[in-house]
Structure 1
Amino acid sequence: MTSTDTPSTPLAGKVICHALWAKDGRQLADFYAAALGTEVSDTFPDEHGTDVAHAFHVGTALYLFSASEDFTAPNWPEDPLPFHLDLAFDDARAAEERLLELGATKPAFQPGGTDWTVLLDPSGQPFCVHGAR
C-alpha cells in the first residue's frame, strides 16, 4: 500500500469499558449502578482472592470500579481532570436530588450555568448531570 492508498475500512475502535478508581471501589460501583438504573453484577478478586473491582454493564459498555488504598480524589476545580462522566436524565432536577441522597455532594463552584450541574461522587470525583439530550 502506498501513502496515497486508503484502506477500504477505516481503523476505528469503540469504548468497551469505563474504569474508575476509588478507596472503596464497591461503594463507587453501587453509587453509579444506582444512578444508571442497574446493579453491580460482577466482582473481580486480586491474587489473594479479595474482591478489588466491581462492575456492571449498561448496553454494551462495562463500568468497572477498582479499589485503591492510594487513591486521592482530584482537588477540583484547582486541578485539571483527566476524565469525568457526564450523565443525562429526563428530569435532571429530580436526578440531582436522588444522587445527593445516594451520597453525592454539590460543590459551590458550578461552571455549567443552567446547562449542567457538577456533583462529586462518594469518592470525591466530579461528574456532570444534564437534562435529557
Structure 2
Amino acid sequence: MSTETMPLPSMRYAAVTFDCPDPAELARFYGKALDLPVAYSSDDFILLGQEGAPGLGFSRLPGYQRPTWPDPAREKRAHIELGVDDLDAAQAGLLALGATEPPSQPEPDRWRVLLDPAGHPFCISTLV
C-alpha cells in the first residue's frame, strides 16, 4: 500500500522551534514579548506556551551562526509574524527587551522587521 492511500494518524500543530546558541536568553525574550510561560525546560531546549495551544521552542545548536538578513550570506530560514495594535509602541517595547533593528525596513508604515537576540528576523504588523 502506498503512503498516498494510507490514512495518516491524527496530528496537531504543536510548536515552532528556533535554533539558537542560548535557549534561556531567547525564551526570556519571546516569553516577555508574548507573555508566554515556560512549559518545559532543560539545558538545551525550552518550550514556551499554554497547555493545549501551540508553543514556541528554542533549541541549543552548537556552532550556531546568526542569519545575516538582509545580506544573503546566511539567509533566514523562517521568521515569525506578530500582530500588534501600535507599530511604534511595539517596536520600542521589543527593542527594550533586546531586539535590534536591521539596516533597512522594507515597508515601515505597514510592518517592521526586527532581529531577536539570536539574530532571527521577525515581523510586527497591524495587518495580522
Do the structures match in fold with TM over 0.5? yes
Distance 1:25 1:60 in 2: 20
Distance 1:90 1:23 in 2: 31
Q: Which residue, out of 89, 95, 110, partners 1:100?
A: 95
Q: Give TM-score scaled by structure 2 length.
A: 0.81
Number of aligned pairs? 120
Q: For structure 2, which runs of at least 5 residues remain unmatched after alignment?
A: none
CA RMSD of aligned residues (A): 2.3
Contact (CA 8 Å) 1:27, 1:122: kept in 2 or not? yes
Deviation sequence 1:69-99 (CA, Å, 0-9, x none):
2111111112232201111112222111111
The aligned runs of 1:10-49 (5 Å cut-off) are 14-44=12-42
Distance 1:41 1:30 in 2: 13
Q: Give TM-score scaled by structure 1 length.
A: 0.79
Larger radius of gyration: 1
Is the counterpart of residue 69 in structure 1 residue 67 in structure 2? no
Question: Higher helix fraction: Structure 1 or Structure 2?
Answer: 2
Q: For structure 1, which runs of at least 5 residues remain unmatched after alignment?
A: 1-6, 45-50
SS at match of 1:19: strand
Q: Which amino acid aligns with 1:55?
A: L
Percent identity over the alignment is: 33
Structure 1 stretches (4+) deviating beyond 3 angstroms?
Answer: 9-14
